Amino acid sequence: VVARQAAALDVRAYVIGGFVRDLILKRPSKDIDIVCIGSGIDLAEAVGRELKVPVVVFKNFGTAMLPSGREPDVVTEESKPVPAGPTLGWEVEFVGARKESYRSESRKPIVEDGTLEDDQNRRDFTINAMGISLNENDFGQLLDPFGGLEDLRRKTIRTPLSPAITFSDDPLRMMRAIRFATQLGFDIEPDTFDAIVEMKDRLAIVSRERITDELNKIILSPKPSYGFKLLYHAGLLDFIFPELLLLKGVETIEGKGHKDNFYHTLQVLDNVSERSDDLWLRWAALLHDIAKPATKRFDPKVGWTFHGHEDLGAKQVPGIFRQMKLPLNEKMRFVKKLVRLHLRPIALVKEQITDSALRRLLIEAGDDLEALMNLCRADITSKNYDRVKKHLAN
Ligand code: ATP
């Protein structure tokens, strides 16, 4: 349909970016980006008319989209409203090809109309800069000026132009590099990684919402610990999540050491992630030991203690959510409760944790945390899960 309407309007159109990457990787994809040499809005409206679906136009940006009708994973103040009416189930975004130039103090570029090459030049990574032609003369042809296909094969994240310029122009791309590496299980090419280390302070000009958006995608990846290790080695963790970095390191007194709570937390995060895709459960795992540095004491008789760290950790959750611009709603209270219970309820559900099962259990337990904790301590298996539920209901 897009190809037909583009031909009727006499504009050239290409599928570009993440959809092309995911198509080659055989990864499911939720959005399709179309770039055309001409007005993206006119093309979107023509496609919307033919498919009989609504079109949302962003006049100021010169873009338009056919909305998917899906709720976003995490609703923030910047989330677009979900329109009523028929939708495609996919979000299709249309934009005219553009050329961008940047000033040093802002992420907002100066935008001009451009060619397909200009548009590919402004992309963040080689694997995100590939296009597929929707035009009659070369329909289906891959347009890959920076070797993105080869980088997919080599499992490498690399910037199309000089990494220092790419990251200086838009420092959010440093987070995106680590996010894509974590989601795809790729390496970051050494020059690209070195540039992140060098430019890390530039992240300060990026809004916290966007940083957290990328962080959440790292947390939702198959093995989130990899992303946190990359953030640590790049020197970005200090800026975006200093409380987590405080967990790092082992102190030894009189020959007695404690475990490194940073790596321990990442291990727990991976373990929980193997069993659940729920973002908030994963956040609880990440925060479950967060108050250990503040409660750490050395007792010559018993060694290291962290008395009361669960309660203090739960108290720190709202502050961390506020700082990260995460929603201060029932999701936060769920995380707080799990931190206070030190994730023990997770032991209740031995198989894949459907978040609803756990949530139900916590809601049923209400404020009778004592009872829930005692039950959890007994390391209840799924076999007597029903009995536990009944007990909690009573
Ligand atoms: P996902 O949908 O999983 O987030 P994606 O690659 O589709 O992956 P988007 O953020 O939707 O990511 O961006 C779509 C495309 O737009 C990217 O593939 C990339 O080509 C380009 N892009 C997005 N953000 C940037 C950026 N900050 N700098 C340069 N190019 C970007």
The alpha carbon of 381 and the centre of ligand 1 are apart by a number of angstroms equal to 43
Q: What number is the average pLDDT over the span 106-113?
A: 82
Give the span between the Cα atoms of 65 and 252, in whole angstroms.
Answer: 58
pLDDT in tens, 165-205: 999 999 999 999 999 999 999 999 999 999 999 999 999 99
The alpha carbon of 100 and the centre of ligand 1 are apart by a number of angstroms equal to 15
Q: Is the pLDDT of residue 306 over 70?
A: yes
Q: Among 23-37, 119-133, 251-265, 349-363, which stretch is predicted with the lowest mean pLDDT?
A: 349-363
The residue among 94, 123, 90, 97 whose CA lies nearest residue 38 is 97
Global pTM? Answer: 0.88
pLDDT in tens, 314-372: 999 999 999 999 999 888 998 998 898 888 777 666 555 665 666 666 666 666 656 66
Q: Among 68-77, 130-139, 200-209, which stretch is predicted with the lowest mean pLDDT?
A: 68-77
Q: Please return the burial class of 377, using the count of CB atoms within 10 Å of its CB with bins 0-12, 13-18 and 19+.
A: exposed
> Residue 131 in contact with residue 143, Cβ under 8 Å?
yes
Atom 4 of ligand 1, nearest CA residue:
18
Share of the chain above pLDDT 70, in %: 84
For 141, phi then psi, to 5°, come to -75, 135
Amino acid at 31: D
Q: What number is the average pLDDT over the span 13-24?
A: 97
Q: What is the pLDDT of residue 172?
A: 97
Give the span between the Cα atoms of 257 and 260, in whole angstroms.
Answer: 9
The alpha carbon of 17 and the centre of ligand 1 are apart by a number of angstroms equal to 7
Atom 11 of ligand 1, nearest CA residue:
18
Q: Is the pLDDT of residue 74 over 70?
A: no
Q: What number is the average pLDDT over the span 35-54?
A: 93
Q: Please return the burial class of 124, using the count of CB atoms within 10 Å of its CB with bins 0-12, 13-18 and 19+.
A: buried
Q: What is the pLDDT of residue 388?
A: 58
Q: Is the pLDDT of residue 150 over 90?
A: yes
72 or 120, greater pLDDT: 120
Q: What is the pLDDT of residue 386?
A: 63
Q: What number is the average pLDDT over the span 99-120?
A: 85
Q: What is the pLDDT of residue 75?
A: 54
Helical (H) or strand (E) element with 154: helix 148-154
305 or 69, greater pLDDT: 305
Q: Which atom of ligand 1 has the smallest separation from the CA of 122?
A: 29
The alpha carbon of 319 and the centre of ligand 1 are apart by a number of angstroms equal to 30
Q: What number is the average pLDDT over the span 197-226?
A: 96
The alpha carbon of 270 and the centre of ligand 1 are apart by a number of angstroms equal to 26
Question: Which tokens in the block code for residue 299?
Answer: 């007792």
Q: Name the band, by pLDDT with cuts 50, 70 and 90, for residue 132.
A: very high
> Residue 181 in contact with residue 223, Cβ under 8 Å?
no
> Residue 333 in contact with residue 314, Cβ under 8 Å?
no
> Residue 93 in contact with residue 31, Cβ under 8 Å?
yes
Q: Which atom of ligand 1 has the smallest separation from the CA of 17?
A: 18
Q: What number is the average pLDDT over the span 153-170?
A: 95
In the block, residue with structure tokens 């050395």: 298
Q: Please return the burial class of 17, using the count of CB atoms within 10 Å of its CB with bins 0-12, 13-18 and 19+.
A: buried
Question: Could you tell me which residues are beta bridge partners of residue 195?
Answer: none
158 or 372, greater pLDDT: 158
Q: What is the pLDDT of residue 358?
A: 67
Question: Which tokens in the block code for residue 19?
Answer: 């959809």
Q: Name the band, by pLDDT with cuts 50, 70 and 90, for residue 10.
A: very high
Q: What is the pLDDT of residue 106?
A: 75
Q: What number is the average pLDDT over the span 225-229?
A: 98
43 or 368, greater pLDDT: 43
The alpha carbon of 278 and the centre of ligand 1 are apart by a number of angstroms equal to 23
Helical (H) or strand (E) element with 358: helix 355-365
The alpha carbon of 14 and the centre of ligand 1 are apart by a number of angstroms equal to 15
Give the span between the Cα atoms of 278 and 73, in whole angstroms.
Answer: 10
Find the residues whose C-beta lies inside 6 A of ligand 1: 17-18, 31, 33, 123-124, 128-129, 170, 172-173
Q: What is the pLDDT of residue 346?
A: 74
Q: What is the pLDDT of residue 370?
A: 63
Give the span between the Cα atoms of 285 and 187, in whole angstroms.
Answer: 25
Q: What is the pLDDT of residue 80?
A: 62
Q: What is the pLDDT of residue 68?
A: 82
> Residue 183 in contact with residue 56, Cβ under 8 Å?
no
Testing ligand 1's pocket by substitution, the residue of 123, 175, 206, 221 carrying the most ligand atoms inside 8 A of its CB is: 123
pLDDT in tens, 240-284: 999 999 999 988 888 888 889 999 999 999 998 988 888 999 999
